[in-house]
Amino acid sequence: MSSVLTECRSEYAIGTLIFIVRWATRGKMRTWKLDDWFSISAWMFFTLLYSMVEYLSVVGAPIAFSQAEREALPTAMKISMREGAKAMFASFFFLICLVWSLKACLIVFFLNLTKNTPLRNYIRVLAGISVVCFMAAIITEFTHCLPLHRNWQILPDPGKECSAGITTNIMVAVGNVLVDGLLLVVPTLMLKDARITVWRKIRIGFLLSLGIFVMGMAIARCYLSIGNTAQTSQSSVWAQREALVSTFAVNAPIINALFKPETWRSKSGTGTGQSKGAYSEHSHFDRNNSGKGLEIYKMTDIERSSKESTAELVSGGPVPSQWNINNGAAKGHGGMV
């Protein structure tokens, strides 16, 4: 077994485990949202992409092969690599669908975070941009090398564009980086008005800004995929690496709930009183504060402390007296935010 295949198998196992932990977290929280459905589609394409790596390790693929290298191939190898080239063509679609399934997970998650706030409209526009980028990547993969059979043509050499998908790699990377870059605006705006410690701002910012690592990985994979022949031959491996990094980045904010005491509290007895206190506090906060306040509430729901109230996390202006009374009652019942 080659070291590359061992790495890919390890990455697939880790990525699958991340998805399982996400689903287990949602099960523990007794909630299932639209982004969780997208996470299932992401795992399916993650599995298909990995299956292509396994298949290509058996049949091979003439990625960026020169005319001389192609002519030197034995007849049996030419037939095998033609099938491998078809698999490579399909794997680009799997990669595109995986990337944008993960983007959909993150966008829906941010839509939930920014509900009833001005930022929600920004996320909606960003969702539209993401759909356009997805369609552009799909169209590019269909049209970057025409007629289609040239994508798996062995002889004569169809050119590096057809065998390595340079244009598709660039389009995927551009769309990936663009959407993640625009998403980074959200945690920046959400955190700037939160009255919490610098350390907690860093922690929440880290959870919501993991797209930075995805952007870096996307740029690295694109650069290596359009580089020299030796680098280009590793494109499927780099796609798997990018997929793992993206999987972690998208699922980390959800999995983070496992590290909150509130997630593990009993639903009966004292735990019920605590939950009721929290919901009472939240609903009253919605009635007496602006969308900006709700934005802070939802942001801190990712990483919060049961020792402080939502009002204490919102900067600007005095806290309404009615809120103080209700907040005190909530704390008396173990309310948490």
Cis-peptide, bond into residue 147, ω within 30° of zero: yes
**Residue 205 CB neighbour total at 10 angstroms:** 17
Q: Are 260 and 302 a contacting pair, CB within 8 Å?
A: no
What is the extent of the structural domain holding 160? 3-259
Determine the angle formed by the axes of helices 75-113 and 34-59, rounding to 10 degrees.
Answer: 160
DSSP annotation of 193 reads T
State yes or no: pLDDT of 77 exceeds 90. Answer: yes
328 domain residue, yes or no? yes
CATH number of the domain at 237, please: 1.20.1070
Structural domain count of the chain: 2
337 domain residue, yes or no? no
**303 with 283, same domain?**
yes
Distance between CA atoms of residues 102 and 111, nearest Å:
14
**Which is more confidently placed, 82 or 277?**
82
pLDDT (mean) for 206-230? 81
Kindly indicate the confidence band of residue 235, based on its pLDDT and cuts at 50, 70 and 90: low
**Residue 139 CB neighbour total at 10 angstroms:** 12
Q: Which residue has the tokens 């009183």?
A: 273
**131 with 280, same domain?**
no
Average pLDDT, the chain: 79
Distance between CA atoms of residues 284 and 310, nearest Å:
11
pLDDT (mean) for 132-141? 98
**302 with 226, same domain?**
no
Q: Write the CA distances from 265 to 21, 334, 336, integer angstroms.
A: 18, 12, 12
The predicted structure's pLDDT at residue 333: 38
What are 153-199's pLDDT values in tens digits? 999 999 989 988 899 999 999 999 999 999 999 888 887 766 777 88
115 domain residue, yes or no? yes
17 domain residue, yes or no? yes
Domain boundary among 244, 259, 274: 259
pTM as predicted:
0.79
Domain boundary among 219, 236, 259: 259
Provide the H-helix boundaries in 184-320. 185-191, 198-208, 211-225, 229-232, 235-255, 261-264, 270-288, 291-300
Question: H or E stretch including 9?
Answer: helix 3-29
The predicted structure's pLDDT at residue 283: 36
74 domain residue, yes or no? yes
Percent of the chain with pLDDT over 70: 75
Three-class SS state of 314: strand
